[in-house]
Amino acid sequence: MSTVAYIQDNEFEQLLKDESILVIDFTATWCGPCKQVSPMMDKLATDYDGRAKVTKVDVDKNKGIAKQFGIRSIPAVLVFKSGELVETLVGMSPYEKFTSAVDKHL
């Protein structure tokens, strides 16, 4: 299973334009719950390969995107459809909550 790639502030706008469904996991290296969500994001990326793009943003290194979306608690998983924010999931959630958030926008 592949590890989801981290993106930087400067890559975000292009991904938003290029991807019909974009899932972004806002995370940090020191965040315990984020480490629990990480394997679920890897599985989501594999399960939705070709249908949704899954990426991560390190909030400590990319404060611009985190501030833009008012991220105050992590993990926070945001789902975008055609460039618009359509779902926000904050905190630890079961895998099915992430899949249902993506499924309803496919």
Residues recognised as catalytic: 31, 34
Strands 21-27 and 84-90, how do they pair?
unpaired
Q: How far apart are CA 67 and CA 29, in angstroms?
A: 18
Q: How far apart are CA 20 and CA 34, in angstroms?
A: 25
| Residue 66 burial (CB count, 10 A) | 20
